[in-house]
Amino acid sequence: MSASQPQAIHRKDYRQPDYWIREVALDFDLLPEATKVTARLSVEPNAAGTAGAALVLDGEDVKLLALKLDGQALSAADYTVEERSLSIEKPPATAFTLEIVTEIAPAKNTHLSGLYQSSGVYCTQCEAQGFRRITYFLDRPDVMAVYRVTVRADKKLCPVLLSNGNLEEQGDLDGGRHYAVWHDPFPKPSYLFALVAGDLACNEDSFTTQSGRKVTLRIFVEHGKEGRTGYAMDALKRSMRWDETRFGLEYDLDLFNIVAVSDFNMGAMENKSLNVFNDKYILADPETATDADYAGIETVVAHEYFHNWTGDRITCRDWFQLSLKEGLTVFRDQEFSSDMRSRPVKRIKDVRNLRARQFPEDAGPLAHPVRPDSYIAIDNFYTATVYEKGAEVIRMMHTRLGEAGFQKGMRLYVERHDGEAATCDDFAAAMADANNVDFAQFKLWYSQSGTPQLDLAGRYDAQVGAYELTVSQSCPPTPGQPDKAPMHIPFAIGLLDEQGRDIPLKLEGAVAAGASIVLPVTQAKQSFRFANVPQPKAVSLNRGFSAPVNVRMPQDGAERAFLIAHDSDPFARWEAGQQYATELLLQRVADIRAGKPADAPYDAAFIDAVRQILQDDGLEHAFVAEAIGLPDEDYIADRMEVVDVDAIHAARKALRRQIATALRADFERLYAANRDTGAYSPDAAPAGRRALKNSALGYLSALAEADAGLRGQIAAQYRAADNMTDRMVALRLLVDIAGPERQAALADFYDRFRDDALVLDKWLALQAISVLPDTLDRVKDLMAHPAFSMQKPNKVRALIGSFTANTLRYHAADGAGYAFHADRILELDPKNPQVAARMLALLGRWRRFDAGRQDKMKAELQRILAAPKLSRETYEIASKSLGS
């Protein structure tokens, strides 16, 4: 290892800073190429022992113009500037002020971290470490200060000047410029600082809090797009009300601003009272946004708003605690969406997402605990593990304590830590103390990585009428953690009788949740015995997905079909179908590899179970749509020792065809019955009907290659659609079928939406996920298309990101997909390392493939690592992916 290789930072090394910064006055003179930033910092030693210690400030890509201490200019001998820091060797031993003048170039900031320009609008992104790209600072979340911010800019180009908190003053300046002064009374870490300046349109509304304070709400967007902000505003108001009613948390300022920008590294950002969003999570109308887009907007608007308490009022002590705010806030946004929509369907979607994104992460070279122990670049740890598994950890606490107990814990957490930078341990302690429970073993969920596995065996003793369930837990080794201790796993189960009814269950020490019982699984192996019960006809496992684990229990098709037909727990009902299909598909993959035909008849009992679901009028439309959906190809791949992408694709395609053939009449009936959902509304009920209609059309499309009538039906839906959901689904189906319908629809879509960047992202993405064999060539062509740009993260994700998610084509045996991927990472890394590194992770799955693909994937990772001047972000992902 050469000395220049980036070094890791360790959680165990945390200590408080030597200095606090209590007040910050920032002064921005905005110019695209040379913005002058003056920062006046009130600094004080942390403790007697740190007085006079060297003050080391973080800084990156900033030019130091001037430096004064207590009004006196410092001479070159008094300080040292290095690539990533500014050190003052001998500061005074008492409180002092530091004035730092820096120069930055927002127009040249392609990292989209710090202060940058997006379509002419100045905006900031400071989480996690962007503030140091604006000025020198103690850029760490435990340093909390009160900010006063003066923004100066050209009045014509930037009529809108925003920062955190309240507007104190504004006025005109010479030379066509003007200014505004903002003051945020709440102390905050630097990562929550924000500034926006530009020419923006505004949708204004208001919200009256439960205590009667009127809050002005503003959503700023590009001119001409105000008409697409109504749903986001509605979601914001519902979020504010919900946080009051469910959590007792009220908004704390008189103004709440949201700004939507088109260049953004992530989804959105919770800066105090000035949230900045990727415009994809704000803009919607029926012609341009799908039902899924609307649901995404509702979730992200809520998520960022909820951070006001879980993130801003109570923030993180250090970045290892990231899940303190993110896991908890994801849990809160999931609960919000569940309360707004269908709870079972939301749970199913969240579990699908967890399995698609977090389980593979936890099983690969980048696996890390919910509270990581070390990092090289913190931006690499905004992961599915920290967010989604973190939310599952909070959910398990909720399951264990119940809603009332959980809310008691929340109140104690807020009472103890409001205004502070806290830790995951602090949160767990508040939950435990408020409820008098012991979380010692449970907290392993924060420190152990990997997805636990439960192996189950059931036995009925007819003589005494008792059922015994034996549970063994294990957790595979993960990087740095070869051996795991048994965890506390709250495992909800139910037993079904002959009629499919729940058998009432009692067990000492176990919480009953409705008809289910939550088993406290705590040992490597243990048995749970239920006395005085009839012989169960079926066992329902991990109800509601009470724990983020893999479950293995030998169950035959008949038992699974029985659960699909009768389980009172909707999640378990869906899951029985998924596991049934998974087993059939895995068996078929093995058969194909043994030379048998892909399209041999599948188990008729499974197809009957699907038929029953389709014919059950008592079920929610959206639930049926989920329940008839087969597990995706990646889920099957995750269950295989060595992935065979072609066999998986062939097996799944054959099953879809056979279901479509057998149930064609049902699909046609459902399509007709749900065809017209009336005037468009994004609400859960009509969206559910569209989901069911469109999954019926999806099955029918499995027969469309040989059926011009069906192709015509799909093309007709495309043309007649009065909303983007129906139009997109039809186009999605057509892009997989070579022929004139495909060409015509793609050309029409482009013509209709050629001026709408967000909609063209869909157009790029659909072409990149096509199963057609020439997809990579099309993607390469599209890179030269005016709709694409390597400078815009949304475009890069739409085209390149979607292609890498196209498992069948990305993993082409000749390695062309891998080489294309690596070329793009190398192209992107110098421009935007955060996005480059995030997009790289997929190559790290090489261990899961055959020797030929392994070699090709590893060679690409090595080629990336060999590049000169690789960013720390990409270096970390590439080196860990290779296992070095």
Binding interface with ligand TRP (CB under 6 A): 125, 127-128, 265-266, 268-270, 303-304, 326, 379, 382, 834
Q: Which of residues 445-464 bind Zn ion (CB under 5 A)?
A: none
> Considering the complex, what minimum distance in angstroms separates the CB of residue 219 from ligand TRP?
17
> Considering the complex, what minimum distance in angstroms separates the CB of residue 330 from ligand TRP?
8
> Considering the complex, what minimum distance in angstroms separates the CB of residue 404 from ligand TRP?
28
Per partner kind, with CB cut-offs from 5 to 8 A, the member of Zn ion, ligand TRP, none near residue 128 is ligand TRP
Of 231 and 382, the one with the shorter C-beta distance to Zn ion is 382
Per partner kind, with CB cut-offs from 5 to 8 A, the member of ligand TRP, Zn ion, none near residue 295 is none
> Considering the complex, what minimum distance in angstroms separates the CB of residue 304 from ligand TRP?
6
Query: How many chain residues bind Zn ion (CB under 5 A)?
Result: 2
> Considering the complex, what minimum distance in angstroms separates the CB of residue 862 from Zn ion?
34
- Token pair for 460: 């009925």
d(CA 304, CA 332): 11
Per partner kind, with CB cut-offs from 5 to 8 A, the member of Zn ion, ligand TRP, none near residue 694 is none
620 is catalytic: no
> Considering the complex, what minimum distance in angstroms separates the CB of residue 278 from ligand TRP?
9
Of 427 and 442, the one with the shorter C-beta distance to Zn ion is 427
Of 125 and 775, the one with the shorter C-beta distance to ligand TRP is 125
Torsion on CA atoms 327, 329, 334, 336, rounded to nearest 10: 160
Q: Which residues pair with 114 in a beta bridge?
A: 125
CB atoms inside a 10 Å sphere around CB 82: 9
- Do residues 131 and 851 touch, judged by C-beta distance below 8 A? no
Give the containing element (helix H, strand E) for 794: helix 793-796
CB nearest ligand TRP: which residue?
266
- Do residues 498 and 537 touch, judged by C-beta distance below 8 A? yes
Q: Which of 304, 620, 626, 741 is catalytic?
A: 304
> Considering the complex, what minimum distance in angstroms separates the CB of residue 478 from ligand TRP?
23
Half-sphere exposure of residue 238: CA atoms within 13 angstroms, side-chain side: 21
Task: Determine whether 483 is exposed, middle or buried from the number of CB atoms within 10 Å of its CB (0-12, 13-18, 19+).
Answer: exposed
Grouping H, G, I as helix, E, B as strand and the rest as coil, residue 518 is strand
d(CA 603, CA 658): 10
Of 163 and 329, the one with the shorter C-beta distance to Zn ion is 329
Give residue for tokens 């992530």.
266
Which DSSP state fits 280?
G
Of 188 and 690, the one with the shorter C-beta distance to Zn ion is 188
d(CA 724, CA 272): 33
Of 536 and 833, the one with the shorter C-beta distance to ligand TRP is 833
Of 161 and 328, the one with the shorter C-beta distance to ligand TRP is 328
Closest by alpha carbon to 25, among 107, 174, 135, 155?
135
Per-residue HEC secondary structure of 206-243 comes to EEECCCCCEEEEEEEECCCCHHHCHHHHHHHHHHHHHH
Per partner kind, with CB cut-offs from 5 to 8 A, the member of Zn ion, ligand TRP, none near residue 125 is ligand TRP
Per partner kind, with CB cut-offs from 5 to 8 A, the member of ligand TRP, Zn ion, none near residue 131 is none
Per partner kind, with CB cut-offs from 5 to 8 A, the member of ligand TRP, Zn ion, none near residue 127 is ligand TRP
Per partner kind, with CB cut-offs from 5 to 8 A, the member of Zn ion, ligand TRP, none near residue 266 is ligand TRP
> Considering the complex, what minimum distance in angstroms separates the CB of residue 838 from ligand TRP?
9
Per partner kind, with CB cut-offs from 5 to 8 A, the member of ligand TRP, Zn ion, none near residue 341 is none
- Do residues 732 and 294 touch, judged by C-beta distance below 8 A? no
> Considering the complex, what minimum distance in angstroms separates the CB of residue 758 from ligand TRP?
18
Of 106 and 536, the one with the shorter C-beta distance to ligand TRP is 106
Which DSSP state fits 32?
S
Encoded one letter per residue, x for contact with Zn ion by CB under 5 A and - for no contact, window 304-343 reads ----------------------x--x--------------
CB atoms inside a 10 Å sphere around CB 8: 11
Q: Which of residues 404-433 bind Zn ion (CB under 5 A)?
A: none
Of 361 and 626, the one with the shorter C-beta distance to Zn ion is 361
Per-residue HEC secondary structure of 48-109 comes to HHHCCCCEEEECCCCEEEEEEECCEECCHHHEEEECCEEEECCCCCCCEEEEEEEEECHHHC
d(CA 189, CA 142): 7
d(CA 386, CA 415): 25
| Interacting residue ranges for Zn ion, rule: CB under 5 A | 326, 329
Residues identified as active-site = 304
